[in-house]
Structure formats: structure tokens, C-alpha cells
Structure 1
């Protein structure tokens, strides 16, 4: 049971509304009402004041993006986008996140009712987690644009050949984009990003980070090499292993080994293999997210001599992954998102001049 969580379910398909409502009700989440378009969703939020809204992306009269924007302006309420598995939907889903949605969950294709029931525990978990997010705090989080680093502009000298491994889940996309936007190219990190995100969305996510960052960012492919000033985003439904490291260049291997911590890609896989292979400076970061993925990875990185950082509870959409990492006793610093880039740079700074 989830302790009185109330939801509004918005979808233009009567069948899909029924499936989602049944799953949530079975999981202990009360469905206050259903809405068949964005306009009805906005009205339902006014009337029922729910804890969370599950929002379809494409709907008649008013789509999910417009509805999310209006809800955030009128009565900020956590919104979980339910997105179909298409490239076009990937674009609009990220746009909805920009408008204030907390996260998204991909609606299965094919035999919808069969697949939805298979995913029902995940859906109940994410709706419950999103319902607890303080969207008043989340939606006001600033993000630097490309070339306008939010990190301190002190003159720093950096250690050579550092690698940064970032792990995140629920609420993470905006946080990853902010951190990457604030990292100066001069720090010369090799960056590995593991964001729990399905296949079909990680490519668009990497493009968004590339647009906002001074780093060259791309979706990981099997055998991809990474040098300073570059970043790889783990591909959806593939674990990203660090296969080897030589002369400041690393190479990754993608696998479809079984999920770890119920997820693929798993943060633990990338952190564990980075700790085993990389002998130059390492920094590990755990951002907002549900569950415990990354906790073991942080232990492995710390044992390998890395500096480790976790996002604080106040600025995390969901304080699950960072909390579990902190509980290991292997996290060096706990920082709010606006101080994260500076904390990462401090980990590789050898000298600061005024």
C-alpha cells in the first residue's frame, strides 16, 4: 500500500485509461478520476487536487505538454508522462520534462494489456515515487545553457586524464543536463552517463546534453572509444562496461547481460568496470533516482581510490539511489545539484589561483 496516494489518469484511449487505473488501484493508489484529453486533465487537477497525474503525450483538444505546462502554472502537481515507444514521442516527452513533468514511463506496444500487467509493479513504484516529489522545488531548478558554466570561474589547474561516472534514475534527465552544462571543457573529463531510460530515448537524451554542454556527447555504441572532453550516454536496454583503458582513452563494451537491480543499463555495471580498469583519477556521482542501483558501484569506486559524491535529499526528485549510496559510508560529499559541478571539479583540482 502507498498510504493514500491519489492519482488522475489522463489518456485518450478508454482502454488504456482502464488498464492504467486498474493497475494503480490494485497497487493501492486511488484513482480520483480519469481524463480523455489535456483539458479534462487540467480541470481534474483543479477539482480533485491529486498527488500525481499520469499524462499521455498525444491527446486531442490539448496535448500532454500543454496540459503539463498549465498544471505547473496553476497548481503544481507531480506529472508522470506515459509515452509511446517512438522517436517522435521521445522528442515531445523531453519537451514535457522541460515544462515540469518529473519523469516518464514508456507505454508498451503490441499486446498492451499483457505487457502492462507485466510492468505493473514498475508502474506502481514510479507513480508512488513521483507522487512524493516536491515539484515546487524541482521546477525552479536553474540550468546553465551551453558555454555559461554555473561552476566557479576561479582559475584552476586540473589533474590529467580524469574520468567521471554519473548515475541517475527518476528525475535525473534534467539534473544530468544541468551538471554537464556546468562542466568546463578544460577539465578534460571522459564522462560516462548511466541514466535509467528505455531504448529509443537515450539517443535523443545524448543529443540534448550535447546541445547544452561544451562536451562532445553521444549515445554509446559497442566498442566506442572515449577521450578527454567527450561523453557517452549508456544506450537503453544495454549495460555499458568499461572494457579497457590506455593512454587517457577508454573503450566500452555494450552487453545484454541480465538486468542488475532490475534495470539495464545499470549504474553498478559501469562503475564496477570503471573501478577495475581505469588507473587515472576517477570521480563517481549518484544523482536522484529510485532504488539502490549505484550503491555497490560507489563502494567499488571508493575502494579503487575514486572521489565519490551524492546528490542531497532536498534537491533530489527521489532520494532513493543517493540515500543508498550514502548509507554505504563510501560517499565523500553530499551536495545540492547547484553545487554538484563545483564538487566534481574540486575532486580533480590541484591548484587554484585568483
Structure 2
């Protein structure tokens, strides 16, 4: 497998170094300072999840999980993403899968896409925060509910961080304790993300004030085998009730629906009492399904304000049209800033439309949403 993967990448201009297990991968990263690492999950000596943790703690690097177990073991892949891996790519079949050569275009596209990713927001401090959130939320969740590594080095050199848009709007002021604030009734929030998104989405949902009582729709570019596990992990980590959407699902305040992999999620009906969603197998939009634009544009058409659209890290332009539609419908729009976006494509394209109200770092987006939905009016005198 290392030979096949290495040959594919070498043919496309990468200098490749190989390591036979997780521990040797950690050493190879320290020695070669690679631009990108592809990492299996199941390996001797040290598995991929441990290796990701060690690398992100000592030499933060762009890591792509590439393993037969990413398809069968979504939980392990999501754990690796939580610990700092930036993306993943599933092999087409079993443990020793030489037909990975058939995935060479996707492999090269993924490596190319993350080669300049800024992983500072995925490094240990955030990983530690995520671990703390997971531990702290266990008790709360219980109260709420019953019962082989290849290091691939590109000679192109150092990664660069995309510059922020100098014309981007300023962040809103931080508000007071959510428990002491009043918020608009029946708010709806639509969040879109791609590469690097799961961990950012996790942080936002954890920090989102339950007092908002919002209906939240999340579109994360991810295969069908992973979105249900993502929903389960998020449900255990935040106060909102999170589930993968089913066709015809209804959502009310305090609930989150995750668009299932390979299905578009659009709003079919909206009222103060809640929303009803429809799942479709319509053509891919911007080459993806689910598409952020599909959900955001349907929300803009059918949902009355207060409505908030959020464009997070990822490659491509999915979400730009949706953000524009939400702004035109009277909603508030937020984009993640370049400094905390592992891949700044989606937020950059949204900002370029001129329809983004606030550009915020990842850890201020939940507060920004709260500010946008606050009914507090300052008084003087």
C-alpha cells in the first residue's frame, strides 16, 4: 500500500518518504517536516489516532486519514479528525487494497487541496479543548438522555495562509452571559462546512447558547457512512439534540439536523412551530451532495427571519450563493476568518460576494450568532 500510494504521489511531483507504522511516522515527520502526511488508522506499534495526537502535539502537520477502516470505522476517522487530522479519504475496499490506484485522482486532489492548509486551528490547544468538552459534556449528556503510514513531502516548501479580506466587516461585540439575555423567537441557523469542518462545527455547537432555542441545519461535506456517526458524536457533546436528517423530518427549537451524506437537504415547509426538510438525490451542485447552497437557498426562500447563515472552512465555492440568498432575505451572514480556516476557499468565496456581515475566528462564531439574534437594546441615561 505504501508503494502504491507513494508512486501515485511521486508521479505528481511529490517527494515521498515512507514509514511502516505510527511511531515511525512520528519520527519521519520530525525528521522531514513534510507538507502532508497520509495516515492509516490500524497499524502496529502505534495506531493512526495516537500518531495524529503525537504529531499535532509536537510538529503540527496536515494529516489525511487514508485507510480501509475509514469506511467501516467512521468513529475512528472522526476521532482522528477531532485530534487534528484535516481530512480523510476512504480506500475502495479491504485492508490491503491495491486498487487505491483507481482513486489516484481523488488522492492527488485531496493532497493538493490541503497542502497549503493552515492547521494552527487544529493544533493541540484546540485538541485539548475538544477533549475537555467531551469529558465535561458526558455528565450533561447523561442527565439529558436515558440510559501503514506514508509521509508525503512536497518540495514546494512552506505552507502559506490566505490573507484576510481587508474590506471584511468587523466582528460584533461580545455579549453578556446568554442566560441573562433575551433572544429573538424561532431563529433558524444554517451552517455549511467542508475540509476541516467537523472540529469547527463541534466547537460552535458546543458553545451555542441553548437559550437561543434555535433550529440548526448543518451541511458538512462528508460521505454517507460518516454523517450519522458525526451526528451521534455531536449529540453527546452539546446541549442541542443532534441527529442525522431523514426525509420529512421536522425540527423545532433546540434541535440540530445534519444533512446525510450523498443527499441534498432542503426546507420543504417552515412556520413558527418548526421546519420540515426534504431529502433529494438531485444532481450534485459544485460537484458535491449534500450542497450547502441547496439548504441555504431553500431557507432563504421559505424561512422568515431571524435567519443566520454561516460559511466555514473548506475548498470550493459551495455556500457563496446561499450566503447571498440569506442576506437578500434579511438574514445575518457570518464567515470564518482566514487565520482559523484550515482551508479558506468556502469563506473566501462567501466574503467575495459582499454579502457577509461578520468575519470571525472559529471560537467567536457562536457568540457572533448569539449577538445577531439578541433582542437587547442598549439604553443610556
**Residue 46 (structure 1) aligns with:** 30
C-alpha distance in 1 between matches for 2:176 and 2:322: 28
**Residue 153 (structure 1) aligns with:** 177
How do 1:91-240 and structure 2 match up within 5 A?
A: 91-109=75-93, 116-117=101-102, 119-139=103-123, 140-141=125-126, 142-143=129-130, 145=133, 146=137, 152-154=176-178, 155-240=180-265
Q: Measured at CA, do residues 231 and 151 of structure 1 come closer, stay the same or move farther in structure 2, by a change above 3 Å?
A: farther
Q: Is the 8 A contact 1:219 1:235 kept in 2?
A: yes
**Residue 308 (structure 2) aligns with:** 283
Q: Which of 1 and 2 has higher RCO (CA within 8 Å, sep 6+)?
A: 2
**What is the Cα deviation at residue 191 of structure 1?**
0.3
C-alpha distance in 1 between matches for 2:175 and 2:203: 10
**What is the Cα deviation at residue 175 of structure 1?**
0.4
C-alpha distance in 2 between matches for 1:27 and 1:298: 35
**What is the Cα deviation at residue 163 of structure 1?**
0.3
Query: For 2:332, which of 284, 290, 307 is the aligned residue?
Result: 307
1:72 and 2:56 aligned: yes
Q: Is the 8 A contact 2:83 2:122 kept in 1?
A: no
More helix by proportion, 1 or 2? Answer: 2
Mean Cα deviation higher: 275-284 or 108-117: 108-117
1:25 and 2:10 aligned: yes
C-alpha distance in 1 between matches for 2:70 and 2:84: 21
**What is the Cα deviation at residue 184 of structure 1?**
1.4
1:53 counterpart SS class: strand
**What is the Cα deviation at residue 186 of structure 1?**
1.2
1:343 and 2:328 aligned: no
Q: Measured at CA, do residues 20 and 115 of structure 1 come closer, stay the same or move farther in structure 2, by a change above 3 Å?
A: closer
C-alpha distance in 2 between matches for 1:353 and 1:84: 56
Q: Is the 8 A contact 1:157 1:352 kept in 2?
A: no
- TM-score (ref. length: structure 2): 0.82
Q: Is the 8 A contact 1:236 1:264 kept in 2?
A: yes
Q: Measured at CA, do residues 137 and 279 of structure 1 come closer, stay the same or move farther in structure 2, by a change above 3 Å?
A: closer
Q: Is the 8 A contact 2:37 2:62 kept in 1?
A: yes
1:250 counterpart SS class: strand
C-alpha distance in 2 between matches for 1:166 and 1:121: 29
More strand by proportion, 1 or 2? Answer: 1
Task: Structure 1: give runs of 5+ residues left out of the alignment.
Answer: 1-15
**What is the Cα deviation at residue 86 of structure 1?**
6.0
**What is the Cα deviation at residue 274 of structure 1?**
1.0
How do 1:218-297 and structure 2 match up within 5 A?
A: 218-297=243-322
Mean Cα deviation higher: 215-224 or 46-55: 46-55
Q: Measured at CA, do residues 51 and 266 of structure 1 come closer, stay the same or move farther in structure 2, by a change above 3 Å?
A: same
C-alpha distance in 1 between matches for 2:80 and 2:334: 29
**What is the Cα deviation at residue 352 of structure 1?**
5.9
| Structure 1 segments (4+ residues) deviating >6 Å | none
Task: Structure 2: give runs of 5+ residues left out of the alignment.
Answer: 142-173
**What is the Cα deviation at residue 66 of structure 1?**
1.6
Mean Cα deviation higher: 236-245 or 39-48: 39-48
Q: Pairwise CA RMSD of aligned residues?
A: 2.4
